[in-house]
Amino acid sequence: MNILYMKYAVEVAKTGSINKAADNLYIAQPNLSRAVKELENSLGITVFKRTPKGMTLTHDGEKFIQYAEHILSEVDEMQALFHKDNKNEITFSLSAPRSCYISHAFANFAKLIPSNVRSEISYEETNALRTVNNLMHGGCRLGIIRYATVYDDKFKEMLDEKGLRYEFINEFRYDLIMSMYSSLAIRERIYKDDLHPLIEIAHADPYVPTLTLSEIRRTELPDNKDRRIFIYERATQFELLHTNPDTYMWVSATPPDVLERYELVTKTCEDNDKVYRDVLIYRNGYRLTDYDNLFISCLRNTLQELQK
């Protein structure tokens, strides 16, 4: 099978247009159309359905593109592994939920990277859907997804379908984080009803396979909450918590230095019984590098320190 034609098909699927794909690939549109047709003939299937709005994948095409992306990713990794100029170069990429303990582990990992080698490192905080897409289509190598344990079967089924491996990292109940000057900070016991007068700082982009966003919000976010601020970036979240004692947020494990820096405290909510899980994911067939394993070690060490 022609690897070049496979790359062409992936680009057409990505753009949904022969013309746009041809521009991105720097080849003539008729040549690209001919290559896609030859690919389809060699496979004996129709990969694309030609419509007035562009190129859409058929059912067979969706399966082919999924395999093609995986194969091309493996080819890229093989070339990178044996490229003579890359022996002193580190590449690491992670997509993960917004989490203090994960970012803390990443910071510790970054300190261990030798100063005498070239490195290209990326770290993106986002929801589970974007993380999965980053691994499938965005070139990201490692991901961590977070979900309520009640959705464990749905997520594992989805990961299996997409050819992704998964390893358990952490299981927890969310704690509350708030200013040390909050009216609830001195309370020995806090219940969900105590939170109603306060403003919740929340993420607006949860994801559960097969559920709509409105359904997720009904199940993932506490009921009867009229005051929320949706923030996607954690530094702003902590600034809000630090500045406004009437705000709070649900969080996983938080390192003590973060609490001290922003004058925050964590508290247990007595009637919060929902359990969440963090899971490491990566593509089937992907071989973890030494630096991947180093990050995973930093992650587990951070968890052990916070659980003491």
CATH of the domain at 33: 1.10.10.10
Q: Are both 281 and 267 inside the same structural domain?
A: no
Q: Are both 148 and 269 inside the same structural domain?
A: no
Q: Are both 159 and 294 inside the same structural domain?
A: yes
Q: Are both 249 and 281 inside the same structural domain?
A: no
Written as six digits, the tokens of 61 are 């095409």
Host domain of residue 58: 3-81
Q: Are both 216 and 191 inside the same structural domain?
A: yes
Q: Are both 256 and 283 inside the same structural domain?
A: no
CATH of the domain at 287: 3.40.190.10
Read off φ and ψ for residue 281, nearest 5 degrees: -130, 150
Q: Are strands 54-57 and 228-230 parallel, antiparallel or unpaired?
A: unpaired
Structural contact between residues 112 and 301, judged by C-beta atoms closer than 8 angstroms: no
Written as six digits, the tokens of 137 are 């289509």
Per-residue pLDDT of the chain (308 residues; tens, 9 = 90+): 678 888 889 999 989 999 899 888 888 888 889 889 988 999 899 999 988 888 999 999 998 998 888 788 777 766 665 554 555 678 899 999 999 999 999 999 999 988 888 888 999 998 898 899 889 887 789 999 999 999 999 999 999 988 899 999 999 999 999 999 999 999 999 999 999 999 999 876 655 565 554 555 555 545 546 788 888 888 899 999 999 999 999 998 899 999 999 999 999 999 998 899 999 999 988 888 889 999 999 999 999 888 87
Angle, CA of 285, 288 and 291, to the nearest 5°:
160
Written as six digits, the tokens of 242 are 């630090």
Q: Are strands 228-230 and 264-267 parallel, antiparallel or unpaired?
A: unpaired
Q: Are both 157 and 191 inside the same structural domain?
A: no
Please compute, for residue 281, the number of CA atoms within 13 A of its CA located in the half-sphere on the CB side. Answer: 29
- Considering its fold, how many domains does the chain have in total? 3
Q: Are both 193 and 267 inside the same structural domain?
A: yes
